[in-house]
Chain A
Amino acid sequence: DAKTTQPNSMESNEEEPVHLPCNHSTISGTDYIHWYRQLPSQGPEYVIHGLTSNVNNRMASLAIAEDRKSSTLILHRATLRDAAVYYCIRTGNTGKLIFGQGTTLQVKP
């Protein structure tokens, strides 16, 4: 049930891509990697998740390293509305979901 490791904060310019890294070096073979984000004064919302292959959805892309010890959330064109805290968590078969401190993303106009 180890937490993942993320940078405390990152900055991006509007309409540029953003790559948010996450380390999960002790991940087991059955753990999924989930990303959530939390806008100010709101509850967390689901962004994307994956197991081994890279994943794409309307919000973002998830690139998972071949050894699965790290992953990167990619926002293709950051907008001001993407400014939030982004959490990377690993979900195993114990059901226990532990959030880390997350990465605070600032988007500059």
Chain B
Amino acid sequence: NAGVTQTPKFRVLKTGQSMTLLCAQDMNHEYMYWYRQDPGMGLRLIHYSVGEGTTAKGEVPDGYNVSRLKKQNFLLGLESAAPSQTSVYFCASTLGGELFFGEGSRLTVL
């Protein structure tokens, strides 16, 4: 039981490049979330999913897309990375109670 796993853990991109962050959970959780956290700030919700095949916008969805084709995976995509997207990204999942977080993915956009 690995919990919530994020890949990659670190990535450096150039402006305009694209990339996908993968979040995988092996706890059969319905709900999954992508947050970003900028230095000295709290977590802000980007997108979330309440079940396989469903996604919804959070507080700061612009510049990101997501997909939940399989229940255990929640992908976060950046189509054209911008320096403002430099941040630490956290994925989380839950059945409806305790939130389980991944270790975070540090993304730098130059």
Contact = CB atoms under 8 A, between A and B. Distances in A.
Interface of A: 32, 34, 36, 42-46, 49, 85, 87, 91, 95-102
Interface in B8-49: 31, 33, 35, 41-45, 48
Contacts of A42: 103
A97 B42 contact: no
Interface residues of B, number: 24
Nearest to B30: A95
Contacts of B42: 85, 87, 99-102
Contacts of A45: 101
A43 B103 contact: yes
Given A45-B101, A46-B98, A98 B45 contact: yes
Q: Which 6 A-B pairs have the closest CB atoms?
A: A43-B101, A95-B50, A99-B43, A46-B98, A101-B42, A99-B42
B98 A49 contact: yes
Contacts of A97: 33, 45, 48, 92, 99
Given A96-B48, A97-B48, A99-B42, 20 more contacts: A34-B98, A34-B99, A42-B103, A43-B90, A43-B101, A44-B92, A44-B101, A45-B101, A46-B99, A95-B31, A95-B50, A96-B56, A97-B33, A97-B45, A97-B99, A98-B45, A98-B59, A99-B35, A99-B43, A100-B42
Contacts of A44: 43, 90, 92, 99, 101
Contacts of A87: 42-43
A36 B90 CA distance: 14
